[in-house]
Chain A
Amino acid sequence: MLNQIDINTIQNLIYIIASVMFIYGIKMLGKEATAVKGNFISALAMFLAVGITVVGVINPLIILGGIALGAIVGSVIAIKVKMTSIPEMVALFNGFGGLATFFIAWSEHNSGIENILQNSLVILTLAIGGITFTGSLIAFGKLSERLKIDKASIITKTFTTIFYAAILYLLASLLVFPLIDISFDYFTILIILVLLAGIGFVLPIGGGDMPVVISLLNSFSGIAAAFAGLLLFNNVLIVAGSLVGASGLILTIIMAKAMNRSISNILFVGYASASKSSSSKEQGEVKPISVADAYLILENASSVLVVPGYGMAVAQAQHTVRELGELLEENGTEVKYGIHPVAGRMPGHMNVLLAEANVPYDVLVEPDDVNPMMDTVDVALVIGANDVVNPSATEEPGSPIYGMPIIEVNNAKTVFVLKRSMSSGFAGVQNPLFFKENTRMLFGDAKESISGLVSEFKD
């Protein structure tokens, strides 16, 4: 008996140390200079917390087998994944974390519920974990472009209905069922409904809003872990889970602000209904430009701002872009990269792609820093970005994206827009930038166009 108490006390002490390390780790993860170290400290904290828990477990074979299997699968995915696939992989890992808490809640339910508070915790942990799991799987499908179901399709609408039904059932499970005598197995139905709810939650949300959804799901997985901590009376789960919940929430808010929309608008309304109200005005003519002519202008430019978007990721053009940037610098041009917070499919997506292509992070600038000096930029090179450079956001009060902070490339002396065709961006809003006096369209595959410019420079 005494021995048992000792192990418990030691475990709890180690959990406190691990919690402090998690706090330091996540703090250091927020600064460029200390980020690698921060991640290491957080990993060490995890190792400590898991290590002290494994001491004296009931069934070592199951436990060590599970850890070994997870370690192998996780490591192989992490080492093999391409940097362009990071968004969907983060979504997938996130879903697995949610699934683990879902199983924890399920198991706790089977251990016997003692009071209504515990019952509520089991239900909430199960629901958040389950929604995180299937929601992340849908996000994974959308991000990896495996899943192509239209927002307006009957499938999406059915799942959206199921989502709301599941929420009602969840509320009933929390507030009504514990008070009345029910003759059916409400928990099994709840298990199925929360899994379906996750699908219905993410399915209607468009690709351009993915940075918000993926941040929110990240937050959910943390909250689920914290709730599981309450359920199991485990303080390290609570602290670590809360930290993740908070960081995901902050990213969600940053993303929503960068789109000038409320979180509920992104989750439950979407652009589709908003864009109907936008008036399509007389747009004028676009002025195409050839690679050779673009080269001549770039050669004489003294400052160039590259503005990448999801199109650069699709075309896998980041390495070629970096090559062009280096050639421009050799030519005496100052090259900066203007990165909008929601460019791409996840928070910081462009930064990761450019880092992969060896672009140093200190030449990446944020909209607030670059906009005031935009009139000194000779050429703004827009590569596969659309909504984040759409001047309607500042000029057209009726536009659905009015008020969204953008990179104001229209104020640069010349704008080159690299684009496949004249289709509109994710928001489905026309972009007046393409018709401006100082804009030239460089049509075609972004990678090919930039390779063309690179070879012009080399000749």
Chain B
Amino acid sequence: MESLILLGFVLVLSIFLGLELISKVPSTLHTPLMSGANAISGIALVGALTLAQDSQLQTALAFFAITFASINVFGGYLVTNRMLKMFKKK
């Protein structure tokens, strides 16, 4: 219970940190930022890897969670990189 409260503290601080970090993003970068952030949300993959696999259902759930999170991670980073490479200065 206590460690959960500590983690809740981490959650709140991280949100404030995020708001501070990204508050002034030029509109040119709105799409890449969104797609790059989207790739980061694929961090769920790390959670999926640690899931228990005690039953067939749980193994299936873990497999699907890993697969879909991986699509999110690989696709997200690659497409963000592709997009950013197009932005050129005069």
> Does A303 sit within 8 A of B, measured CB to CB?
no
* Interchain CB contact (< 8 A) of A107 among B51, B75, B78, B87: B51
Shortest CB-to-CB span from A270 to chain B, Å, is 22
Question: Cα distance A395–B14 when bound, in Å?
Answer: 42
Q: Which of B34-90 touch A at CB < 8 Å?
A: 34-55, 57-59, 61-90
- Chain A 247-264, CB within 8 Å of chain B: the 1/0 string? 111110010000000000
Chain A minimum-CB-distance residue to B45: A50
CB pair A22–B11 under 8 Å, yes or no, is: no
Shortest CB-to-CB span from A385 to chain B, Å, is 15
Question: Cα distance A233–B83 when bound, in Å?
Answer: 34
> Does A106 sit within 8 A of B, measured CB to CB?
yes
Shortest CB-to-CB span from B1 to chain A, Å, is 7
Which residues does chain A contribute within 8 Å of B33, judged by CB atoms?
A: 26, 29-30, 247, 251, 348
Which residues does chain B contribute within 8 Å of A67, judged by CB atoms?
A: 45, 66-67, 70
Chain A minimum-CB-distance residue to B11: A238
CB pair B38–A97 under 8 Å, yes or no, is: yes
Which residues does chain A contribute within 8 Å of B26, judged by CB atoms?
A: 30-32
Which residues does chain A contribute within 8 Å of B17, judged by CB atoms?
A: 23, 242-243, 246
Q: A46-B39, A86-B83, A250-B23 are in contact. Are A230 and B11 (CB under 8 A)?
A: yes
Q: A71-B74, A104-B47 are in contact. Are A36 and B31 (CB under 8 A)?
A: no
CB pair A237–B43 under 8 Å, yes or no, is: yes
CB pair A39–B32 under 8 Å, yes or no, is: yes
* Interchain CB contact (< 8 A) of B42 among A97, A229, A235, A347: A97
Chain A minimum-CB-distance residue to B70: A70
CB pair B31–A347 under 8 Å, yes or no, is: yes
CB pair A229–B81 under 8 Å, yes or no, is: no
Q: Which of A1-49 touch B at CB < 8 Å?
A: 22-23, 25-27, 29-32, 35-36, 38-40, 42-43, 46, 49
> Does A266 sit within 8 A of B, measured CB to CB?
no
Shortest CB-to-CB span from B19 to chain A, Å, is 5
- Chain A 60-71, CB within 8 Å of chain B: the 1/0 string? 001101110111
CB pair B68–A97 under 8 Å, yes or no, is: yes
Question: Cα distance A26–B21 when bound, in Å?
Answer: 8
A contact patch SS: helix
CB pair B28–A348 under 8 Å, yes or no, is: yes
Which residues does chain A contribute within 8 Å of B23, judged by CB atoms?
A: 250
Of the listed residues B19, B30, B40, the one surrounded by the most CB atoms of chain A closer than 10 A to its CB is B40
CB pair B44–A237 under 8 Å, yes or no, is: yes
> Does A239 sit within 8 A of B, measured CB to CB?
yes
> Does A212 sit within 8 A of B, measured CB to CB?
no
* Interchain CB contact (< 8 A) of A221 among B22, B41, B64: B41
Binding site for A on B (CB under 8 A): 1, 3-4, 7-8, 10-11, 14-19, 21-55, 57-59, 61-90
5 smallest beta-carbon distances between A and B, as pairs: A70-B70, A246-B18, A348-B30, A74-B75, A66-B66
The contact sample of 29 A-B pairs, CB cut-off 8 A, is A22-B43, A23-B21, A25-B40, A26-B21, A30-B22, A35-B29, A38-B36, A46-B77, A49-B46, A53-B50, A62-B53, A66-B62, A67-B70, A71-B70, A77-B75, A93-B72, A97-B68, A97-B72, A107-B62, A115-B1, A221-B38, A221-B41, A228-B47, A229-B47, A237-B46, A244-B41, A247-B34, A351-B29, A352-B86
